[in-house]
Structure 1
Amino acid sequence: MAVKKPALGKGLGALIENRIEENQNSVIEVEINQVEPGPGQPRKNFDKEKIDALAESIKEHGIIQPLIVTREENRYYIIAGERRWRAAKAAGFKTIPVIERNATTKEVLELALVENIQREDLNPIEEAEAYAKLLQDYSMTQEQVAAMVGKSRSAIANMLRLLHFSEKVKNLLISGELTTGQARPILALESMQEQDSAAEYILKSGLNARQAEQYVKKLTEKSKQKIQSEEKDISEQIKQQEVRFVQDRLRTSLGTKVILNDHNGRGKITIEYYSKDERERLIEFLTKK
């Protein structure tokens, strides 16, 4: 039985899903050079081969579905349909059909985000950056963003965590070489260098998401053991410094070689002497009041 996907946010989903049924009188032809991607458009990466294939289809069948745009003076900013716009330009079209909508900058971003998520056009980093923009620039909560795009709050939180990756890992997610399932375990590694090395190994070894998780788990366990070992070494170094300090003080005071053996606050002090006279001197020094 197919799992039903959560519905898009009220109002936003309605506009996106029903735009084909818009009154055809609202569709206008505008010069393609007057149209450009909207500010804050979440999608930044486009597959050239897919754009070229769509351009060929448009040459043969035309643009069946108009772009949704918002207008500012004599410029039109794309809310939905940037792939069609790019393909139409590649196909040499001079004009393009659009449906004009009044929308604030925030609404443009919301609509573009919903459009791209519904079509699964965004790579994981683009999606995460779009969520972050809504949170930071428009003071939305994770719950509000989740309701808007029809996802759970935890799903939004997990996507936002992807922004903590190193640039190299982000680029691998953008290019599609690394999936989010393979990448997520890498977040357990603190340094960017460790993340990069783990990503390279996962790709080189062809690990799936589960195998990547097990691999990173082993890395973190080794890292913990290494940290514990380093902490033990540091503790031992500090202890030896303290022992040498006490030995030097006693040697200076007694005028002879002194050996201090200490174990957790317990131990013994060995004082060396090399003649009866030196022994008597030490006894007198240690017992005088």
Structure 2
Amino acid sequence: MTLRFDNRVAIVTGAGGGLGRAYALDLARRGAKVVVNDLGGARDGSGSSLSAAQGVVDEITAMGGEAMANGASVTDAAAVEKMVAFVKERWGRVDILINNAGILRDRTFVKMSHDDFRQVLDVHLMGSVICTKAVWEIMREQTFGRILMTTSSTGLYGNFGQANYGAAKLGLVGLMKTLALEGAKYNVKVNTIAPLAATRMTEDLMPAELLAKMGPETVVPAAVFLVSDDAPTNAVINAGGGGFERAYVTLTQGIHVAPEDMTAETVAARFAEISDRTGEIVPDTGSAQGAVALGGGNRG
């Protein structure tokens, strides 16, 4: 079965190069009309230019596809809303949003300024919030929507010198989990990709021999599936270099103790039991996790 996107309209942020460009080109090849959004700034978020986005549009039109360039910053709510309104007016709908735009300001936490932290959160987390909010009601009304967030191994597992980036990236997983629940009855599915790819963002973070195997095209298959008609919802997929894995936030069976044993000393003495991953589960919601805590797993 070939995945097609005929008559679908997709917005891809940060699509002037790297992963975003690869997503936009593949969606266009498969029939989608694509909005190539890119501020055109440097890796740290400074500057702007529409040339990168227009270059990708030119590639799409050269292959017979339909696309438009947009230079709105994902942190500018008014500009994003204007972009979405124009797309809706021109093409009648918005089916897919890939939140891919991002910046890096890597430093150890001791050297990281508040501004370094805030700017990364604003682009990755709030930028995704702003773009998602702008399309959310449209997708609900048309009872179809596919939204893809972008996390990273840093958000899921941590990485030295990226406290700001990791906080933003795990925040996006939390955003996905709630929106997947809220969008379910409207056929709005929300997923997250954790890409490992050789791009401008990662060119000095990995060895050259590894980067050679990690082109953006190795991530595209997972991203395209996660915004397709038959996509799941509430899934986190790691992708890159030919590997595809699913990441979960799990819960151990833990312990459940009587009131008189609810002490720090009990937690300390039984921490190995609390940490035992035998029979761990993946709660569907935060409420489900609360029910486990109140109802008990392993009885103490």
TM-score under structure 1 normalisation? 0.25
Instruction: From the two aligned structures, give the one with the greater helix fraction.
Output: 1
